[in-house]
Structure 1
Amino acid sequence: MIEAGSLIRSLSGRHAARNFHTFVINEIGRAIVSGAFPVGSVLASDAVMMEQYGVSRTVLREAVKTLEAKGLVEARPKVGTRVSPRSRWNFFDSQVLAWHFHAPDDPHFFENLFEVRAALEVPAIEGAARHRTAEHVRLMKYWLHQAATSGDGVEQFGLATLEIHSIIAESAHNTLLRSVVGVVELLLALALTRDRSGLSDYMHQASVRLEVMVLAVEKGDVEAARVALEAAMLLDRERLLAR
């Protein structure tokens, strides 16, 4: 697992401190998701990868175990480590989602992301409108202000927006709905980077829709909150898919 916001922070070239274990996981994981290591292919031998990544056998094998737990690879004696079919990948894993940021654009996959986001975040915001506390509202308004005053700061805007969606998921009183945060972060990162034209206008419109959404949650207006969220999701969808 990675910390929520790690992908957004990387947009400005700022990465979290890493160790050899996470370095190897990210290198191999990104290569698999991007297609550099195709499905069905067998990874290089331990000796080759140890030299390639500059790590010990222990570090390499722990990294492979982590990738195996995510469903990306399968290690077998005398066969090697083979890249698993996509049907076995854990797409709700935050790292697996984040690695798709580096993959070639896939409109069909983007459509899938928006379908999953709607399936999870609509119930989340309806729950938030019913169960939000004064503290939830205070935090959402704080991050709303951060988003509105971010100027052309893509990272600040992205992190503030993600925080609002995270609080919505948190206040819904349904632990499973928090899975939507990784999907939101990937879609947000894509919307902020894939097309620089009209970026300022997109950020402004997104801020306006976020404000409507937060105010509806504060009032406890379930229907208005849902409609505001759908408007925000439509903006993101048009940003990515109408190009």
Structure 2
Amino acid sequence: MSEPGSLLRSLSGRVAARNFHSHVINEIGIGVISGRFPIGTTLPNDAALIDEFGVSRTVLREALKTLEAKGLLEARPKVGTKVAKKSRWNLFDPQVLAWHLSAPPDEEFLRGLAETRQALEPLAAGHAAERRTADNLRLMHYWIRQMEMSLDQPLNFCLADFELHRIVADASHNPFMRALYGVIELSHAFAYQRAVAEPRDGELQPFVHLHRDLVHAIERGKAADAQAAMLGLIDFEAEFAAAG
């Protein structure tokens, strides 16, 4: 499983897979999401995939099992391994989400990503205002400072931004909110990929002000204000991404 933040770190250049197993998973996973392996089609046979990736049959079979567990593939006796319908894909799996960054734009997917955040992250922020601990607040202020110190380093800035959102989700003390980590990280990757590649002076400063407003609302215990601040942040991030 990918570590939180690894997708954002890859914005500075594609990160090499750690071993043959993860390499095969990544390449076939991206192939499915991007349409190289179209939905409903059967993957090339084992011999062809072994030749393409230069791995053993054992490594290949384990990689295919992992992708089947993520809902992207389904093995059928006497037929082979087929690409599953989108309705079977586990879109809360961080890797499955991350592979969408390498795929052609999918308007339905992007709309769903935004709607999921708009529905759940403000709720998490409201709960954080009611349930946050002193340690949660300390970490929120720490990541605000990291954002302020990284205004001329977009990659570090977006990592700090993401970490702050993770702390807010944790401060809601709802364990199911952790399932949002992948959704939040991918949204940040879409928003910041241009800024990391082509930095512009002063463009990140508004993010600091908006995040500070969010943290202050949580610190004061104002649930409604925290929800509104989070929703405003999500909307601004979407506008920033669209402006390119």
Q: TM-score, normalised by structure 1?
A: 0.94
Match of 1:240 in 2: 241
- Identity, % of aligned positions: 49
Go from structure 1 to structure 2 and tell me whether the alpha carbon gap of 1:108 and 1:152 turns closer, same or farther (over 3 Å shift).
farther
Q: Are the aligned partners of 2:122 and 2:228 in contact in 1 as well (CA < 8 Å)?
A: no
Structure 1 window deviating more from structure 2 (198-207 vs 229-238): it is 198-207
Measure how far apart 1:188 and its partner are. Answer: 0.7
Measure how far apart 1:69 and its partner are. Answer: 0.6
Match of 1:20 in 2: 20
Structure 2 counterparts to residues 1-243 of structure 1, below 5 A: 1-13=1-13, 15=15, 18-194=18-194, 200-241=201-242
Q: TM-score, normalised by structure 2?
A: 0.93
Q: Are the aligned partners of 1:192 and 1:199 in contact in 2 as well (CA < 8 Å)?
A: no
The 3-state SS of whatever aligns with 1:160 is helix
AA aligned to 1:100 is H
Measure how far apart 1:47 and its partner are. Answer: 1.0
Q: Distance in 2 between matches of 1:116 and 1:219?
A: 26
Q: How many residues align?
A: 243
Q: Distance in 2 between matches of 1:158 and 1:241?
A: 16
Q: Distance in 1 between matches of 2:145 and 2:15?
A: 25
AA aligned to 1:106 is D
Residues 22-59 of structure 1, C-alpha deviations (whole Å, 9 max, x = no match)? 11111100111011111111111111111211111111
Residues 124-181 of structure 1, C-alpha deviations (whole Å, 9 max, x = no match)? 1111111111111111111111112113322201110111111111111111112111
Q: Distance in 2 between matches of 1:190 and 1:145?
A: 23
The 3-state SS of whatever aligns with 2:144 is helix
Q: Distance in 2 between matches of 1:76 and 1:50?
A: 19
> Aligned-residue CA RMSD in angstroms?
1.8
The 3-state SS of whatever aligns with 2:12 is coil
Q: Are the aligned partners of 2:121 and 2:169 in contact in 1 as well (CA < 8 Å)?
A: yes
